[in-house]
Amino acid sequence: MNRSISLLVAGVALAVSVQAFAAGDIEKGKAKVATCVACHGQDGNSVDPQYPRLAGQYADYLAMALHEYKDGRRGNAIMKGFAAQLSDEDINDVSAYFGSLPTKLDDLHNHIQGAQ
């Protein structure tokens, strides 16, 4: 019985933390992406396969990734530097903006290092 309660509490905590990531203002985000577009494209659909396409990704996933770059759980020095400058509100807004854009993702062809 204790295990079930522990799992329930953990699930609720996870849901609450994901909801915190999901909130953001798309219009404010649009005004905050000047640095991002150099690599990820103005429309979030990078044409260079070394940079991920952000358009249409889940906003909560993008926010989680930015928080992980910021705190070092993801190991990319360039993204860590950019993310370090962002507040939680900035992260939510930028994530909401890119998540709201139409994606050009269809598969991973030419978007995996070394793929032909």
Give tens-digit pLDDT for 85-116: 999 999 999 999 999 999 987 766 665 655 44
Q: In this structure, which topology does domain 2-100 adopt according to CATH?
A: Cytochrome Bc1 Complex; Chain D, domain 2 (1.10.760)
The string of pLDDT tens digits covering residues 17-60 is 444 445 899 999 999 999 999 999 999 999 898 999 999 999 99
The C-alpha angle 78, 38, 35, rounded to 5 degrees, equals 65
pTM above 0.75, yes or no: no
What letter would DSSP give residue 74? S
Per-residue b or e along 17-45, where b marks 16 or more CB atoms closer than 10 Å to that residue's CB: eeeebbebebeebbebbeebeeebbeebb
